[in-house]
Structures are given as C-alpha cells and as structure tokens.
Homo-oligomer: A and B are copies of this chain.
Amino acid sequence: MSTPKHAHLAAILRARIDDGSYEGRLPSEAELMDEFGVSRTTVRAALAALLNQGLLTSASGVGYFVRQLERFLYRPQDDFRRTPINSEVDKFTLAARKRNPSQTIEVSLVHPPEPIARRLLVPQDEVVVRRKRLRLLDGMPYQINDSYYPRDVVDGTEAMVPGDVSRGVNEVLAENGFAQVRALDEIWVRMPTPEEADRLTLGPGTPVGVHMITGFTADDRPIRVVRTILPGDRNIITFDRTHPDHEDGDR
C-alpha cells in the first residue's frame, strides 16, 4: 500500500472524530490494535498525529479524548466600543467576564530582548521598564502580556507600580507628555517554546499567536511595545476597523 498504515488509521480516526462517532472518549490503544490488526506502535503513531493536530488530548491511565475548545475574544482596542456585528462578539465578551478574570503583574528594569529593542529604537544595553502580566480566567492562564517602555516615558508614574492601573496606562502616558496616537500591530503564529507551554499549560498540538503592538506619539517616537502570547486553543483576536482602507482588495 502506498499510504502508511498509521496515516491510513489516522485518517479513519479523524473522520470518526469529525462525524461524532466518538463522543468524548476514543477506544483504548488495545482495542484499536484489535480492530485494525496493527501493532501498538502503529496505533500510537496515528494517535500521536491527531494529538499534534490538536484534535485529541490524552490522559495517562485513562484514555484519549476528543478535544473541546473554548475560545475567548481578545480585543486590543477594548475601550473603543462600536456597534457589534451581530451578537457574537457580545456573547464571547460576556463569556469571558463570567470566567472570573484576574491577572498577576510584575514590574522590573531589564535589558530589552532584541525584537523589543529594535521596535523601541533603543540600544540593547540600555535598560527599559517591563510590565509583565499573566492573565487568567477561572484561575487558568490564557495570555502572557508583557509591556516594555523606555525609562523616561514612565519614570515616576503609576506604570512603575506592580498593580492595576485603573485609568489605563494610556492615560498615564498622556499625562506624562507621551500621548500615543498610532499603533502598529504585528501578528504571527508559531509553536510555543517549552517555557511557554509550561507557563500556559499548553497541551500538544496547541500553537500560539504572537501579537506585537508598537505605540507611537504624534512625532513618531515609539513609546511602548506590548508583546502578547495567545494560546490558540483559547483566544480569538478581534479588531473593528472603520474606513474602507480595507482588506487586501481581492484583486
């Protein structure tokens, strides 16, 4: 046969998962060996593929389970409220609020990593302020969100205190003479580092989105970089754009 046994088996299992034949739990490895007449290695290869596709989870001593995702809306422009599209956005936002949101905040002075230094136009050997946040829903981490500021931008302000800034850091910056009038968003996608997987308790087959926001003043000075790590199994990033400076144009 041209397609390997494990790939064939994976395709069958995937189809059954998709059509709902397996509600919740899959047959055990032993049962699959019997049903398909293959070795345990082959069964495990097929299951490993599905794990890495994010379709399954496994629990040692228990079994394999069809994965259920619940994603929450993440709205980088949260204050800027407009009429919602349909009720969907509201539904999700509401869902997140019900999940008892919380966060931990640390503030420290650090040498910026290269990607931050480049965006902040600051040399790497210069010290900047980092506000490190881990955001939780029902005690489960769902985002890493770290902000970096040049020292002069936040020195002596509330942004240096490791706690919530109820007015929002934007307002604090504006009062300090650094009003942010423009932002550049960059988003890309990759697999997590082992550290991220650990900190965010990510299962196999769970990619992350990286969202980098660079904020600028009216005279185009970068005054902040926000780096958010968003586990793919629990986040949807949303933007609401006016103007017809729209999408790619579909030419």
Contacts and interface: CB of A to CB of B under 8 A. Distances in A.
Interface of A: 11, 14, 48, 52-54, 71, 74-80, 82-83, 85-86, 88-89, 118-119, 121, 131, 133, 145, 147, 159, 164-170, 174, 179-194, 204-205, 207-209, 213-216, 220, 222, 226, 228, 230, 232-233, 235-251
Given A164-B251, A187-B187, A213-B247, 15 more contacts: A52-B205, A76-B246, A77-B241, A77-B245, A77-B247, A79-B245, A80-B243, A133-B250, A168-B251, A183-B246, A184-B240, A189-B189, A189-B208, A189-B230, A207-B207
A162 to B, nearest CB: 12
Nearest to A14: B194
Given A86-B118, A240-B182, A243-B80, A232 B189 contact: yes
A237 B188 contact: yes
Nearest to A185: B239
Given A170-B249, A194-B14, A251-B165, A242 B181 contact: yes
Given A54-B190, A86-B118, A209-B209, A248 B78 contact: yes
B191 A52 contact: yes
Given A207-B189, A207-B232, A247 B133 contact: no
Given A86-B118, A118-B86, A121-B86, A236 B181 contact: no
A180 B244 contact: yes
Contacts of A54: 190-191
